[in-house]
Amino acid sequence: MRICIVAPPYVAVPPPAYGGTESVLDTLAVGLVRAGHEVLLATTGDARCPVERTWCWERAVGVGHGGSEVELRHVVDAYAAAAAWRAEVVHDHTLLGPLYARAGVGLPVVATNHGPFDVPEIAACFAAIADRVHIVAISQDHARSAPVPIRAVIHHGLDVEQVPVGTGQGGYALFLGRLHPTKGPHLAARVARRAGVDLVIAGKMQEQHEVDFFEAEVRPLLGSGIEYVGEVGASEKLELLGAARCLLNPIQWAEPFGMVMIEALACGTPVVATPFGSVPEIVTDGLTGLVRPTEDQLAVAVRAVDALDRRACRAAAEARFSAARFVADHVALYREVLAGSDAAAVA
């Protein structure tokens, strides 16, 4: 098959540091090529993904920067390139792209939503394309929140073989993610202190609202075994995960998918998390982690997590979240779309 993947123009593929949509698209594009398919990645000029690429913007514009005209120009060029390249299917990961495709681009379009469906503005956009575009959710919980029929639910994957297995010898709990209240770094600090366990916090803090939140809610909790180490790159992230006794992920929102959780499992590191969003789909309670709703229960879980078998965590990542499974699920969907099945197949 010939697949054009349209990436958002905000971050290069793959990103230099944290995961997210761009690292997922890198895994998908590379995996499709390894599986014998042809891929054209519509991205930015500073992308490093080793597949055939096209772009209109020389550099990623940065999350939160650039207006709708930046994404729209990117989309227009991407669809023109896909047509000229004779793509059989377009897999779009932008928001404006599927709306543009609805006007008629002459190609079947699959669209994955990586954000929440229940934001009214986003819901309206997906409602407008549901009759013509094949919509993909990234977890069952995500799909249940959608106001439109969902064609497929496909959990993310990663190249597990490239992830080193850790031993947890650091003895600390690890929080890894954006410094945002819905991610719960302040809750992680409180939980770790109750548990009597050291906590390492690693996370993005670039935007003003992140800085303000950190100063008000996180910095006062630092010290006495709780440390903020800043934003880390890909290799350092895996080192931190592998040496952690657990990933402490007390999210406070229905996160559609949590890449950091499957990265932890691939390192052999169990996850202690709250039961929101995709967490119960990713973490098998009592086997690959402990899922608890309150701070007191999370603290007990952090103390008990050493009883879990790290080998079971790695095995779950290999069986459920591998790049091979991730790619195979997409190939099956593309084939169904090309065979002409209805746009809305699952709810």
Q: Is the pLDDT of residue 52 over 80?
A: yes
- Distance (Å, whole) CA 253 – CA 183: 8
Prior bond of 14 cis (ω within 30°) = yes
pTM of structure: 0.93
Which region holds residue 207: left if phi is over 0, alpha if psi is between -120 and 50, else beta?
Answer: beta
User: Band of the pLDDT at 347, cuts 50, 70, 90?
Assistant: very low
Helix residue ranges, H only, the chain: 21-34, 68-85, 96-102, 120-129, 140-144, 185-195, 208-213, 234-243, 259-266, 279-282, 295-304, 310-320, 323-338
* Residue 343 clears pLDDT 60, i.e. is over it: no
Please give the Cα distance from 130 to 122 (Å, whole number): 12
3-class SS of residue 16 = coil
Tens digits of residue pLDDT in 69-122: 899 999 999 999 999 999 999 999 999 999 998 877 889 999 999 999 999 999
Report the mean per-residue pLDDT for the chain. 93
**The pLDDT value given to residue 224:** 95
Q: Which of 159-168, 220-229, 334-343 has the lowest mean pLDDT?
A: 334-343
pLDDT greater than 50 at residue 161: yes
- Write down the pLDDT at residue 342: 52
Dihedral sign for Cα atoms in the order 317, 18, 94, 29:
negative
Binned at pLDDT 50, 70 and 90, residue 60 comes out as confident
Which pLDDT tens digit goes with each residue over 284-323? Answer: 999 999 999 999 999 999 999 999 999 999 999 999 999 9
Q: What is the pLDDT of residue 104?
A: 75
Per DSSP, 103 falls in state T
Return phi, psi of residue 140, to 5°. Answer: -65, -40
Per-residue pLDDT of 233-263, as tens digits, reads 889 999 999 999 999 999 999 999 999 999 9
SS3 letters for 304-344? Answer: HHHHCCHHHHHHHHHHHCEHHHHHHHHHHHHHHHHCCCCCC
Structure tokens given for 184: 């719960």
Domains of the chain: 2-159+322-338 (3.40.50.2000), 162-320 (3.40.50.2000)
Q: What are phi and psi of 256, to 5 degrees?
A: -60, -40
| φ, ψ of residue 32 in degrees (nearest 5) | -65, -40
The predicted pLDDT at position 285 comes to 98
Query: What is the C-alpha separation between 196 and 101, in angstroms, rounded?
Result: 54
More confident residue, 331 or 132: 331
- Closest-CA residue to 168 (of 281, 265, 30): 265
Q: How far is CA 102 from CA 4, 41, 70, 94, in A?
A: 17, 20, 19, 13
Secondary structure (3-state) at 116: coil
DSSP annotation string for 162-211: GSPPP--TT--EEEES-S-TTT-HHHHHHHHHHHT--EEEE----SHHHH
pLDDT of 22 reads 81
pLDDT higher than 50, residue 331: yes
C-alpha closest to that of 177 among 221, 232, 227, 239: 232
Residue 273 main-chain phi, psi, to 5 deg = -150, 165
Q: In the block, which residue shows the tokens 């549901």?
A: 130
Q: How confident is the model at residue 65 (pLDDT cuts 50, 70, 90)?
A: low
Write the pLDDT tens digit of every residue in 114-152: 999 999 999 999 999 999 999 999 999 999 999 999 999
Q: Give the list of residues 6+ apart from residue 98 with CB closer than 8 angstroms, or none.
A: 92, 109, 111, 125, 126, 129, 133
DSSP 148: S
In this predicted structure, what is the pLDDT of residue 61? 80
Nearest to 174 by CA among 253, 280, 289: 289
Looking at residue 346, what is its pLDDT?
Answer: 35
